[in-house]
Amino acid sequence: MSAKKAIIVAAPSGSGKTTIVKYLLNRIPQLQFSISATSRKSREGETDKRDYYFLSKEEMMDRINNGDFVEWEEVYSGTLYGTLKSEVERIWADGKVIIFDVDVKGAIQLKKYFKEDGLSIFIRVQDISELEQRLKARGTEDNESLKERIEKVESEMGYQSNFDVVITNDVLQIAKQETEEIVKKFLKKI
């Protein structure tokens, strides 16, 4: 099996993409999670090099200018996220298929990079007010960042047509199973 493949999962905040990615990692052993780099501060319980590569904004800009990123984006005002080329190579060296949990614009850039070797999956919910409730329940956002995330949701929903597959996550267990079936079909092709 050629492992130089990628599963790219994206969604507006609160759509359940991280939960679905964790589910896939537990169910499909050939997948390995790609750790993104970010210029934001770590949240309680997050660990450098496990959850993210936490870099200062200056470090990220230097590495961007050096061509060290496959993709990067200023996802929220002043906060950069991206995928390091070294992370992609690390996972492929392990003989694994990369799975990404990224923002919508980053996912589109990754799909362009991987082309037919990447499967892009957009996770959505029907009701935007449901997303707002999920984000509030997380307890990780202050009022300002919550407002910014909610405003971004409508814009991100407009990118669905750029993805290979769209999964509606109104019932989490069904969304998990549908996503798993699609990923397994893609992996059988390699």
pLDDT in tens, 112-166: 999 999 999 999 987 777 766 766 776 666 777 767 777 777 788 889 999 999 9
Tell me, yes or no, whether 19 lies in a domain.
Answer: yes
Distance CA 25, CA 63 (A): 28
Residue 170 has a pLDDT of: 87
Tell me, yes or no, whether 71 lies in a domain.
Answer: yes
Q: What is the CATH number of the domain that holds 96?
A: 3.40.50.300
Residue 140 has a pLDDT of: 66
Q: Pick from 146, 65, 70, 53: which is nearest to 108 by CA?
A: 70
Residue 87 has a pLDDT of: 96
How many structural domains compose the chain? 1
- Domain, as residue range, for 59: 6-188
**Exposed / middle / buried, residue 89 (Cβ in 10 Å: 0-12, 13-18, 19+):** exposed
Residue 134 has a pLDDT of: 65
**pLDDT band (50, 70, 90) for residue 190:** low
User: Would the pLDDT of 81 be above 90?
Assistant: yes
Mean pLDDT, all residues of the chain: 89
pTM attached to this predicted model: 0.85
Tell me, yes or no, whether 43 lies in a domain.
Answer: yes
Handedness of CA 53, 146, 104, 95 (dihedral sign): positive
For the residues 38-56, what does the mean pLDDT come to?
A: 93
Tell me, yes or no, whether 1 lies in a domain.
Answer: no
**Exposed / middle / buried, residue 107 (Cβ in 10 Å: 0-12, 13-18, 19+):** buried
Strands 79-84 and 37-38, bridge-based pairing: antiparallel
Tell me, yes or no, whether 155 lies in a domain.
Answer: yes
Tell me, yes or no, whether 45 lies in a domain.
Answer: yes
Using alpha carbons, list the distances in angstroms from residue 36 to 108, 133, 180: 15, 26, 22
Is pLDDT larger for residue 91 or for residue 151?
91
Name the strand (E) or helix (H) holding 180: helix 172-188
Distance CA 53, CA 80 (A): 11
User: Would the pLDDT of 1 be above 80?
Assistant: no
